[in-house]
Chain A
């Protein structure tokens, strides 16, 4: 009998050890953070090749920035388009263009990726200031997505405008990261490029919506979701105060000034990173009512945080939202 017991113990121990090794290999979780696209990128990946995935994510974001999206990196596709007033672009970039032109159109111009000249005058990110009125009017005159034409992989521009994918770049990065994770068979991942987040893989995720009055880790509501992309546009980011007024970085393409309405922030949930990012900006400019309509046109879900301390959502989000800050009230429209 003693022998039998010893055998059982040995089998259990071996099984336990095998399980631990198997589990540790398959469910290895690696966290890394780095700086790219003028923001902090943090990745937590679970899977067989978690470490390699994290390294690759860093490469994807850096490459996307310097080779495609950056307005200032010489040699990037956007840099070349702006310098030469149009030209050939890669197939993927043409896809982004096409999607973003669609958002410009469907939002009635509330989203516009040709405002580079206007936002330069505000100097957000360095020493922000209120621009000279005439200079602003002039820059606004030389902007407008309707002056950009896409034919296959060729972009032509009928004015000296400055193309700027800043309002969608982080989302585009999330989509490219998602493609990589699918190919590498990662099990689960949470990747944040600045304030835009990719939730990838199995199980449920919990995302906090930033408290406009708190630091960047504090939140006022939680969303419980499956895999998706979540982006927020908030007036508390990149803002400055002058003569008792707050000026923030989300510009209304119609006026060239910060969008001025009841909204403090908009969070958009979508399968597409590009859409969640671009739509959060568009919805901010449009305000609550029109914002909901636009988001729904794309099958995306939106949550607005307003100046009168309301969190406004539609019933498509009612089941997954939990308010954690008692100063705010949930309003389902």
Chain B
């Protein structure tokens, strides 16, 4: 009779479980890296910007009902210009922290930096 505490088969089982746990952990936690800004128009993502990788100022012109310009530089992103009436989007200023959001309602355009640590912000 084999009296070894751990058998070959047990090792295989342990290996499978450890591998599964590692894969799970990798997919779950890999997002906690650089700030990423997501630009949506009418609920559809049109551009994703890894803010840390933007070395020189870039300008993005999403396809919207009228002319909207979004700029990113130095880890920040903002509405640089909009032809909308109230320009609340431009007045919002620069976004850099997880959860920061700027909205141009008339253009149905939203910039959000991913990774807020709250479920929602009331305003």
What is the interface of chain A, defined by CB distance below 8 A to chain B?
A: 1-2, 4-6, 8-9, 12-13, 16, 32-35, 38-40, 125-127, 190, 192, 194-197, 199, 205-210, 214-219, 222, 230-232, 234, 236-237, 265, 267
Cβ of B26 to closest chain A Cβ, rounded Å: 15
Asked if A207 contacts B118 (CB within 8 A), the reply is: yes
Beta-carbon contact of A217 and B99 below 8 Å: yes
> Which of B92, B95, B110, B123 has most A Cβ within 10 Å?
B123
Q: List 8 A-B contacts (CB under 8 A).
A: A4-B9, A5-B12, A33-B43, A35-B43, A216-B101, A217-B100, A218-B97, A222-B118
Q: Which of B13-21, B28-36, B52-60, B66-74 contacts A (4 or more CB under 8 A)?
A: B13-21
Known: A214-B100, A215-B102, A265-B123. 6 other contacts (CB 8 A): A5-B7, A8-B12, A12-B16, A33-B110, A215-B92, A217-B101
**Cα of A218 to Cα of B120 in the assembled complex, Å:** 10
**B2 at the binding interface (Cβ < 8 Å):** yes
Q: How far is the CA of A38 from the CA of B106 in the complex (A)?
A: 9
CA distance A74 to B46 in the complex (A): 33
Closest to A41 in B: B43
Tell me which residues across on chain A come within 8 A of B42, comparing CB atoms.
34-35
In contact, B121 and A219 (Cβ under 8 angstroms): yes
> B39 contacts the other chain (Cβ, under 8 Å)?
no
Residues of A close to B2: CB separation below 8 A: 1
B120 to chain A, nearest CB (A): 4
Does A40 lie within 8 Å of B100, measured CB to CB? no
Smallest Cβ-Cβ distance to B120: which chain A residue:
A197
A-B contact count (CB 8 A): 122
**What residues of chain B lie closer than 8 Å to A5, measured between beta carbons?**
7-10, 12-13
Q: Lowest 5 A-B CB distances belong to which pairs?
A: A5-B9, A217-B101, A195-B123, A210-B123, A208-B121
CB closest chain-B residue, reference A214: B100
Q: Is the CB of A217 within 8 A of B121?
A: yes
> Counting CB contacts under 8 A, is B22 at the interface?
no
Which of B7, B108, B112, B116 is close to A1, meaning CB atoms less than 8 Å apart?
B7
Q: Which residue of A lies closest to B121 (CB)?
A: A208
* Cβ-defined contact, B85 with A126, below 8 A: yes
Q: A5-B9, A12-B17 are in contact. Are A219 and B118 (CB under 8 A)?
A: yes
A215 and B95 contact, Cβ closer than 8 Å, known pairs A9-B12, A34-B42, A126-B85: yes
Q: A33 to B40: give the CA distance in the assembly, Å.
A: 9
Kindly state the separation between the CA atoms of A83 and B66 in the bound complex, as whole angstroms. Answer: 33
